[in-house]
Amino acid sequence: MSKRYVLPGDLIVEGNPHLKPLANVIRIGDRLHATRIGIVEISQNSVKVIPLSGIYVPRVGDLVIGKVIDYSAMAWEVDINSCFLGHLPAQDVFGKEFSPGRDDLTKRFNIGDVIACRILNFDRTRDPLLTVADKDLGKISEGEVVKISPTKVPRLIGKRGSMIQMIEQLTRCRIVVGQNGVLVVTGVNKDAVHVAVKAIRMVEEGAHTVNLTERVKEMLQGVQVGR
Amino acid sequence: MSVKKTTTIVEQLRRAQMSELLAMNKRLDGRGLKDYRELRIETGLIKKANGSALVSLGNTQVIAGIKVEVDEPFPDMPDKGLFICNAEVLPLASPYAEPGPPDEDAIELARVVDRGIRESEMIALDRLVLISGKKVYAVFADVSVLNTDGNLFDATSYAVVAALLTARVPRYDVQDEKLVKSEETIPLPINTIPVSITMAKIGNSIIVDPNAEEEACMDARITMATDEQGRVCAMQKGGSGTFSVDQLNEVASLAISLGSEVRERIRSSVASSTGGGANSIRSMTS
């Protein structure tokens, strides 16, 4: 099936009541329209648009990597690479007994710290509520921060994590992927991290092309042979 | 520059990585310490202006327009034309820029650019006089910053210089103490091409052309403008850090050597974009 590119507002299908509008598609009367720039994917009973560009819109449950940009007596403000600012309440870290007078927020997270967190609650009317109360969440103290377009994150992860696992195995790096397009790469040495970042950039640039996994694999194996 | 809350905050991890790389004479974006970002200059984009230029320095983008009018000279300088430079950072240029009158950073930007051009005597202001004490040419340079990624000083300076070099102004004839506008246009009288070079100090390293991330981490910055003879003619230092005497000497010689490189770039882009018809240096057609 050939790829069909659409712009916001473009008509995708008309007069088929069995098709359900999924991501980035809306129904107006008996017509389905795209809401973002992207590629149409029509399956047996649903239609969706894979976006080609755009910002990150938080979804409950997403793992995101944020940057602490400010704090008040009660909470931290976290830049989650979105049009919304993440809100991490102090109770989440200090527990119910948190007292603004006794507990110093900067002891845990300071401005500029990179933290892995999860979206706890979000309804578009208020800033997304974050949490770090889970395993593998919290301050990230080492690694290289890489930013990619949030729309390319699914491609980087691949089908059931195939792409990211391949990059991790071949470069012996660990890559924490935030759904907001921020990644942290840690590896055995700087060269390994450098190669992993190169592979990530390759995926980002060629996210919509075919045989990408093969090409990335080739590149990574080529580098390893050369070493 | 004042410490504003709304500036780029660099992740601690990035900061650590930056200082680690600087110790090895490398930078986060792969440049060497003394390397410039890609510089592109396009001129003559605004048809209604007397001269204009669009400059991109990496992701920093600046557009400048020159408007020339006839005005009265300042009372203390009856035999000099006017040159006025204004700069504005558009709200679209950065998430931290707000609409409204130019803030102190934008004012500093305009003043530093103005000073480089004025003190190098790029424009021969004394040749802009039409009727002594009464009528002179007034040259207005208006700059809009379209995108900010650090080093607005240099990008803006190059934009204004390129726009001045390509500007063409209407010729006025004086007849019986009255001005008669002719159809003919003439270039501005240009003495020299000043080039501003901005350097930042992070730790003990001095880097040229800092980007936004580096500007957020720098201890101090210094901008030096040099003229064609390699003379330093204007300087501005910012930030709370300090430069030692040796560092200042290093910075000055960098400004001179890199300045001549950039000067050639400006000269060639101005010449190519106007098909060789750029204002020739030190030759004002009458």
A225 pLDDT higher than 50: no
Select the CATH number that applies to the domain covering B8-285 from these four: 3.30.230.70, 3.20.20.140, 3.40.109.10, 3.30.420.40.
3.30.230.70
Nearest C-alpha neighbor of A27 from the set A6, A11, A42, A51: A11
Nearest C-alpha neighbor of B165 from the set B241, B53, B15, B27: B53
Fold for the domain defined by A4-51: OB fold (Dihydrolipoamide Acetyltransferase, E2P) (2.40.50)
Rounded Cα distance between B206 and B249, Å, is: 12
Rounded Cα distance between A139 and A39, Å, is: 36
- ipTM attached to this prediction: 0.70
Domain boundaries, chain B: 8-285
Give the single-character DSSP code of B192.
-
Q: Do the Cβ atoms of B13 and A143 come within 8 Å?
A: yes
* Residue of B13, B15, B59, B217 to mutate, interface with A, max A Cβ within 10 Å: B13
B138 pLDDT higher than 60: yes
Distance from B63 to chain A by nearest Cα, in Å? Answer: 27
Which residue in chain A has the smallest CA separation from B11? A112
Question: What length is written for chain B?
Answer: 286
A63-140: CATH class: mainly beta
What is this structure's pTM?
Answer: 0.83
Measured between beta carbons, which residues in chain B are less than 8 angstroms from residue A141?
13
Q: Do domains A4-51 and A63-140 have the same CATH topology?
A: yes
Among A69, A70, A114, select the one facing B13 at the smallest CB separation: A114
Q: Exposure pattern of A109-140 as b/e (b: 16+ CB <10 Å)?
A: beebbbbbbbbbebeeeebbbbebeeeebbeb
Partners of B223 in the β-ladder:
B198, B236
Domain boundaries, chain A: 4-51, 63-140, 144-226
Rounded Cα distance between B112 and B223, Å, is: 8
Condensed to tens digits (0 to 9), the pLDDT of residues A56-104 reads 989 999 999 999 999 999 999 999 999 899 999 999 999 888 888 888 8
A206 pLDDT higher than 60: yes
Q: Do the Cβ atoms of A184 and B13 come within 8 Å?
A: yes
Rounded Cα distance between A13 and B36, Å, is: 51
CATH 3.30.1370.10 for domain A144-226: yes
Among A70, A79, A112, select the one facing B12 at the smallest CB separation: A112
B9 pLDDT higher than 60: yes
Residue B218 near residue B200, CB atoms below 8 Å = yes
Condensed to tens digits (0 to 9), the pLDDT of residues B165-218 reads 999 999 998 888 888 888 899 999 999 999 999 999 999 999 999 999 999 999
| Strands, sheet with A5-6, edge to edge from the N-terminal-most edge strand | A5-6, A38-42, A46-51, A20-21
Q: Do the Cβ atoms of B13 and A70 come within 8 Å?
A: no
Residue B233 near residue B7, CB atoms below 8 Å = no
Across B244-258, average pLDDT: 95
* H runs (alpha helix) in chain A: 90-94, 153-157, 162-171, 190-205, 212-226
pLDDT at B171: 92
